[in-house]
Amino acid sequence: MKFIKRLLVFALICMLLGVGTIFGFYYYVKPELPDVATLKDVQLQTPMQVFSQDGKLIAQFGEKRRIPISYDEIPPELIDALIATEDSRYYDHYGFDPIGITRAAFAVIASGSASQGASTITQQLARNFFLSNEKKVMRKIKEIFIAVHIEQLLSKQEIMELYVNKIFLGYRSYGFGAAAQVYFGRDLKDLTLSEIAVLAGLPKAPSTMNPIYSVERATQRRNVVLSRMLSEKYITQAQFDEARSEPIISQYHGAEIELSAPYVAEIARAWMVNRYGEAAYESGMRVTTTIDSKLQKAAHIAAIKNLLSYDERHGYRGAEKVLWKPGQTAMSEEEIIKHLRSQPTYGELRPAVVDKVAGKTATVYVKSYGEQTIDWDNMKWARKFRTDDRQGDAPKTASDILAVGQQIWVRAADLDGTPDVAPEDKEVQTEDGEMPEPVAISWRLSQVPNANTAFVAINPENGAVLSLVGGFNFVHSKFNRATQSVRQVGSSIKPFIYAAALDKGMTLASLVNDAPINKWDKSAGTAWRPKNSPPTYTGPTRLRIGLAQSKNVMAVRVLREVGLDETRDYLTRFGFDKSKLPRSETIALGAGSLTPIQMAQGFSVFANGGYYVEPYYISKVEDPFGKIEFEANPKVVCHQDCPQMQAPEMVDASNDDGTAPSVEEATNATELAPVDIAQFNEEDMVTDQPRYAPKVLSEQTAFLTREMLYSNVWGGGSWRDGTGWNGTGWRAQKLKRRDIGGKTGTTNDSKDAWYNGYGPGIVATAWVGFDDHQRKLGRTTANPNLGKDQITGAEAGAKTAQPAWVDFMHVALEGHPQQAKQIPNDITRVRIDRDSGLLTNKTDGSTMFEYFKIGTEPKEYIQDSLTDTLYSSDESGGDSLF
């Protein structure tokens, strides 16, 4: 009896000591324990996503990929699998499992090391949120105390929801929602029992037991999970057998990028980091851009297709590499496939290795697509590149172009029919890692172009950027040529100079002498002789024709009529940086330098009737719960009953110190900041008050300038009676629309090629050139292999840039009815003589109707007897206006 009493006393003492020890440990570590109440309002680190305005995913930024799901969205099979595998007494304990701890303790005694874990799901959650993974006793004690606190604070459902969303599961995926996408490319709710078991087995060793790293290990671990589910009676024997027999088919699935707009994504990323700091990467923000997915895809295809076309007509520069030469041991198929996997993919271009060459075909191995064929039609373009101005003879057989063992570039022959390619190329492989059966794609020999391109389209009514292509490929070069490349604009500047002339009092019928100029430059000791391109001259010519046909000498004379300083001041109202505009007559020929988006911004003033809009990219930012954190409020065009600032008089707007005036000074409007993401005026954009675009040009001047830009496309006169003529932009006639207009641009020696133009509700700019500002775009001769429909001769805006604009507009204007011409008030239309621009009573082919600002129309009638003597000869070498 005494023994029993002593035993009870001893047990009581041990229990009290145990309780005391626990309390002692608790108060010892209490100061170091985190506040678990923060779990009530925890915000899981979720990547930032960038979308188009119509909800297409453009990019995802952030180290941790996570797709949060609620408890109700968790498949019951996953909960069962986790409980069976990780914590079978989940619903019976209060944060830690003494039985599990005892089992782990015996394992330590037996093995001498902590080889077996005993952490409950709640303990794992505590460790993931508050502790490290180090295997120390004190960490384990803290883990237990935190787990108990969590159980007191949260329900079992809330704990399970946090666990399912928090746990790391390999390949940068955090939570089971993300893991389902990464490993299987499907939503969690759509997975099979076998696939759920694969994921449920990952917490033990996510880096080595995932199905991408090792299908064998993943299968073994899945079977363990299924066995535990069967033994715990969560599944039947039939379900077990079916799931166990299912093969694991898995590959890496990156974020499902739906739209290729990497340059826009980078603008959005930089803006978000500038506004929210590094937290932007993990706050789950949803950034909606102004990009229209249909227009972005059209711009991408048009710009890249046009650039590759330019590159092809200048010749083939040869293989990227030679992997083996004739007489050397050829690489095996496995070696070729392994080599190709290590090579980059640039957008539409994929690396390939030539395996066979016979007659007019070649057999190649294409990265991710296996063995493919290039037929003659898709390689016969490949004359040898000699210089930018010279190409070799047309090839006659495939062996004139390719040789076995060469690594080359290929692309799908039909760019219009190929999907956008994400920056991270996806390998297409079967379960055993081999290449799949060949896919039926027509492949074309290609090469990485040396030249580059930019394309941008904006809404002229509010400045929203609808599409933007910053270069050939973002992976190849992250430099954004649409917003950062300051290039000479060539003849693209002429509409702005002619608009100044209209405000100065000239009309579309004003005659300007189209004759050579010979101006002596005393400082240089040489004569300046600007020439037309082509170098033909027509004498006194109406202003409309001068702009439409891009007459260089006429532009210089118009500049002189307006005044050099007045013109430079005038151009600032379009947002152009005066410091980039030379103080010389070369400004009339496009020596000024601007970015493509600045050009689109400037042409928007003509398209919208005279209002300055500011390009912007971000329309809305939402937090993970849909709360709007930012919403753009751009300055919009308001054509009536709105507070507007009228266009200024044509006066000298320069400051007293000779510096460039701000646009505020020039237009009495709000300050026009440069289009730079770092200077994005956030506070101004988020105001609830309507914001109106300042009026910087009269509606009448904008209309008359559009008339000249219309003639750049459609020309004038009548081909039937011999008076017809074309503008330099005549290739846009294929759009068959009378509500478009634009202007070509070619710089000196053809170093830059431009086309800027508009249609209903859209303005677009296309540019092609080399990043090396000194390199010329060159010229080409006809390739006998290609037939009649090919571009030849010197590269210029109409040949080199306009095709991209036309292809884009074909898509952009599809489904939009043609708009009737809107003639503003104070514009009149009178019949004039085509040659003199004077009034006439005739109604034959020598006459035409022309638009004028009321009060500027001609007052005199043409006299038949004076027709031949109306213009005096230019004895001063062509320097006078008439």
**HEC profile of 370-388:** EEEEECHHHCCCCCEEEEC
Domain residue spans of the chain = 1-32, 64-245, 262-420+441-448, 483-612+697-813, 825-865
3-state helix, strand, coil in the chain (%, to 5): 40, 15, 45
In the prediction, which pLDDT does 389 show?
Answer: 96
Fold classified for 483-612+697-813: Beta-lactamase (3.40.710)
Most distant CA atoms of the chain, gap in Å:
148
The residue with greater pLDDT, 130 or 350, is 350
**Could you report the per-residue pLDDT of 774-784, keeping only the tens digit for each?**
999 999 999 99
Judged by DSSP in three states, 689 sits in coil
Angle at 266 between CA 307 and CA 746, to 5 degrees: 30
Please say whether the beta carbons of 360 and 397 come within 8 A.
yes
Residue 873 has pLDDT above 50, yes or no: no
The residue with greater pLDDT, 734 or 862, is 734
The C-alpha atoms of residue 207 and residue 170 are separated, in whole angstroms, by: 5
Percent of the chain topping pLDDT 90: 66
Can you give the pTM of this predicted structure? 0.83
The C-alpha atoms of residue 791 and residue 745 are separated, in whole angstroms, by: 17
Fold classified for 262-420+441-448: OB fold (Dihydrolipoamide Acetyltransferase, E2P) (2.40.50)
Q: How far is CA 456 from the centre of its chain?
A: 10
The residue with greater pLDDT, 406 or 686, is 406
The residue with greater pLDDT, 689 or 37, is 689
In the prediction, which pLDDT does 650 show?
Answer: 33
Token couple for 233: 């009676």
Of 52, 77, 86, 194, which one is the catalytic site residue?
86
Reported for 20-23, long-range contacts at CB under 8 A and 24+ positions apart, including other chains, are none
In the prediction, which pLDDT does 828 show?
Answer: 97
Residue 639 has pLDDT above 70, yes or no: yes
Say whether 483-612+697-813 and 64-245 share the same fold. Answer: no
Q: What is the mean pLDDT of the chain?
A: 85
In the prediction, which pLDDT does 282 show?
Answer: 85
The answer to whether residue 63 is catalytic is no
The C-alpha atoms of residue 168 and residue 65 are separated, in whole angstroms, by: 10
Of 260, 446, 467, 491, which one is the catalytic site residue?
491
Lowest model confidence (mean pLDDT) among 359-373, 389-403, 710-724: 710-724
Residue 702 has pLDDT above 50, yes or no: yes
Burial letters for 311-336: b for 16+ Cβ neighbours within 10 Å, e otherwise? bbbbbbeebeeebeeeeeeebeeeeb
**Could you report the per-residue pLDDT of 711-754, keeping only the tens digit for each?**
999 999 888 888 899 999 999 999 999 999 999 999 988 999 99
Residue 665 has pLDDT above 60, yes or no: no
The answer to whether residue 491 is catalytic is yes
Residue 671 has pLDDT above 50, yes or no: no
Token couple for 211: 């199905």
CATH architecture of 64-245: Orthogonal Bundle (1.10)
Residue 141 has pLDDT above 90, yes or no: no
Residue recorded with tokens 């809009």: 613
Lowest model confidence (mean pLDDT) among 16-20, 236-240, 843-847: 16-20
Number of H helices, E strands in the chain: 22, 28
**Could you report the per-residue pLDDT of 309-340, keeping only the tens digit for each?**
999 999 999 999 999 998 899 999 999 999 99
Nearest to 211 by CA among 224, 225, 198: 198
The residue with greater pLDDT, 125 or 358, is 358
pLDDT band at 109 (very low <50, low <70, confident <90, very high): low
